[in-house]
Amino acid sequence: MSRQKRTVYYLSDRTGITAETLGHSLLTQFDGIDWNKINVPFLDTVAKAHDWAARINAAAERDGCRPIVFSTLIDDEIRSLIAQANCMIYDFFGTFIGSMEQELQQPSAHAVGRSHGLQNNSSYFNRIAAINYTLTNDDGVSAKNFNDADIILVGVSRSGKTPTCLYLALQYGISAANYPLTEEDMDALRLPKLLDPYKHKLFGLTLSVEQLHLIRQERRPNSRYASLAQCQQELDWQEKLYQRLNIPYIDTTNISIEEISTIILNRSGLKRHLYGQ
Amino acid sequence: MSRQKRTVYYLSDRTGITAETLGHSLLTQFDGIDWNKINVPFLDTVAKAHDWAARINAAAERDGCRPIVFSTLIDDEIRSLIAQANCMIYDFFGTFIGSMEQELQQPSAHAVGRSHGLQNNSSYFNRIAAINYTLTNDDGVSAKNFNDADIILVGVSRSGKTPTCLYLALQYGISAANYPLTEEDMDALRLPKLLDPYKHKLFGLTLSVEQLHLIRQERRPNSRYASLAQCQQELDWQEKLYQRLNIPYIDTTNISIEEISTIILNRSGLKRHLYGQ
């Protein structure tokens, strides 16, 4: 039997980030379907709505079944034009906003572009400051700024510190530094001295030896650095260190950067400085 | 009249990113309410569900009105425990998944952690590669790699190139380089020579003179670099350059990094390599 094919549209007045996030999480619950996904951000005029309604109808005819449409459209006229197309619409605002107006006993603003628009300059500056901080304090290059860190991630080379720091900065406005644990400190089973004053800010990353080996192979194939034996030794050492010094840590094998970041936020009790707050 | 205060919970089996996105986009439609937002990721056991149901009840009593709950919980037992608490629930999966099962004529997987979990190793490597590429090619430091760029952002100092590149890499897996336009090239009204072979990959950023002045003031207060006159001159020059060379460009004043990135994706026709695809 051939796989089901479905065309999916994400329609939004602005970025489409909300429509995509919500649609994506629903689609991942259905296996074995080939999705043809089409992002339509900035669908903000009646003319564009006519155009996209026509394209949706054409897709329905071509596919032999109606497209799925995830919509965060707010404008009533645009919504009603799309609603006349041959599609199954999941309308995120339409579904919930009426009930919320009732619950909160006030009308909604009905304004577009609020979820991912610029809220205010101070939030923008916080975010830029966190990104700059994180870039300047990547890979232990300038430990003199660790006073200003919200958190300092530690782990051996290629344990995922940099992407996690960047995600924390970009998504949550957190000033995240990182410091690589190196072989030199192994024998003594201790932290580099310069981290001593910041022990309460440390959060460790670890991962499976197979994963670390794979990642290091990409970088320096068949080196001692990438060998299973070397990876195993460094991982054993860092986990002993985390346990001995009571540094909270997380095994990042098979989890995404989003999950790692959320777990770290959750376990460290850090306050996010942006988004949803 | 004092402002309405409401406690809001984001409940999720995993990261909570979907629940927050949904809730945040709805809450931004209601002005003048003080939200007390509580993120509850990894609500994945019956014991935790009992605990959080009790906390929700306590909040209802304390506030004198029931909390708003945005839920992407999937487990039926956990959902029904929360449903018994004194709150108004917006149940994302419960609302849409039944209709989708009918539309797609197949049952949903009912599996947690799919939306922001690690889909596969190749997607992880793509993302890490894009982040590494972007970090290595920040601020024009190594133009020799521009062959590998999906896109090259240009603009004067502090026009927002770096945060936008990082967002494109992290969120969409796009290898985004950037190159600063400097005073040296002003008189000739031309691009730096090394960008010539990559003209088709260029995308320009610009912003208002007030915003640029404000951002540069943060960095080097009261310098010539930050002066309104200097900012104005550089901005005039770069806009002339964009127009003369037909480089697509975007005015980033008052729009967020998410919006800038989506507009760039949309206008350049770049394919995202991650997320939702």
pLDDT, averaged across chain A: 90
The more confident residue out of A186 and A170 is A170
The SS3 of residue A88 is strand
Residues 6+ apart with CB under 8 A from B198: B146, B149, B152
A248 vs A172, A200, A268, B144, B230, CA distance in Å?
Answer: 20, 10, 8, 41, 48
Confidence check: pLDDT of A136 > 60 = yes
Structure tokens at A34: 């080939």
Residues 6+ apart with CB under 8 A from A140: A177, A178, A179, A180
- Chain B, 7 to 36: residues with Cβ < 8 Å from chain A are 10, 14-18, 20-26, 28-33
Amino acid at position A100, single letter:
M
Q: Which of A81-95, A258-272, B112-126, B158-172 has the lowest mean pLDDT?
A: B112-126
Predicted confidence at residue A225, as pLDDT, reads 95
Q: Is A277 on the interface with B (CB under 8 A)?
A: yes
Query: How does pLDDT run across A146-163, given as a tens digit for each residue?
Result: 999 999 999 999 999 999
Residue A155 assigned ligand-binding role: yes
Domains, chain A, with CATH or none = 4-104 (3.40.50), 121-268 (3.40.50.300)
If you measure CA to CA, which chain B residue comes closest to A277? B37
Dihedral of the alpha carbons of B54, B58, B63, B66, in degrees to the nearest 10: 30
> Can you tell me the ipTM of this complex?
0.84
CA distance A53 to A38: 13
Q: Which of A72, A118, A131 sits opposite B25 (nearest CB)?
A: A72
Predicted confidence at residue B148, as pLDDT, reads 92
Predicted confidence at residue A277, as pLDDT, reads 37
CA distance A90 to A237: 51
Confidence check: pLDDT of B187 > 80 = no
Measured in whole angstroms, the distance separating CA B82 from the mean position of its chain's CA atoms is 30
Predicted confidence at residue B277, as pLDDT, reads 37
Q: Band of the pLDDT at B223, cuts 50, 70, 90?
A: very high
Structure tokens at A148: 């200003």
Predicted confidence at residue B276, as pLDDT, reads 42
CA distance B246 to B241: 8
CA distance B154 to A22: 33
Q: Is B141 on the interface with A (CB under 8 A)?
A: no
**Average pLDDT rounded to a whole number, residues A220-248:** 95
- Within 8 A of B20 by CB-CB distance, chain A residues are 275-276
- Chain A, 203 to 222: residues with Cβ < 8 Å from chain B are 214-215, 218
Closest-CA residue to A272 (of B24, B265, B91, B5) = B24
Residues 6+ apart with CB under 8 A from A231: A209, A212, A213, A216
If you measure CA to CA, which chain B residue comes closest to A216? B125
Mutate to test the interface with A, among B21, B65, B74 (most CBs of A within 10 A): B21
Query: How does pLDDT run across A45-64, given as a tens digit for each residue?
Result: 999 999 999 999 999 999 99
Residues 6+ apart with CB under 8 A from B222: none
Predicted confidence at residue B205, as pLDDT, reads 97
B256 to chain A, minimum CA–CA distance in Å? 5
The more confident residue out of A74 and A277 is A74
What is the b/e burial string over A88-107, where b = at least 16 CB atoms within 10 angstroms of the residue's CB? Answer: bbbbbbbbbbeebeebbeee
Q: Band of the pLDDT at B1, cuts 50, 70, 90?
A: low
Q: Band of the pLDDT at B206, cuts 50, 70, 90?
A: very high
CB contact under 8 A, B29 and A259: no
Residue B156 assigned ligand-binding role: yes
